Amino acid sequence: MTTQFITNSKGEKTAAIVPIAEYEELLHQHHLNLELTDEYKSMIDGMISQEEAGNAGYVSYQHIKSRFLGKK
């Protein structure tokens, strides 16, 4: 069986139908890619704690972009 698609009234693909074996393999690969290091988990836990304590600081997309690309 090949991948089949469900489309809306405009002909746009809205969903895919794949064989169970392929779906299970995709899930397995996804979970392998999600294996996180202890350092990353610790960082995320710290960020969640800051947010819960009301100490989280939020910045704009432009601010983050300028930190990586420099001010333009």
Q: Tens digit of pLDDT per residue, the chain (72 long)?
A: 677 889 999 999 999 888 888 888 888 887 777 777 788 788 888 888 888 898 877 778 887 888 788 765
Query: What pLDDT shows up at residue 32?
Result: 75
Query: What pLDDT shows up at residue 72?
Result: 53
Query: What pLDDT shows up at residue 38?
Result: 81
Is 0.95 topped by the overall pTM? no
CA dist list (Å): 15 to 4, 6, 32: 9, 5, 24
CA dist list (Å): 49 to 1, 38, 68: 47, 16, 25
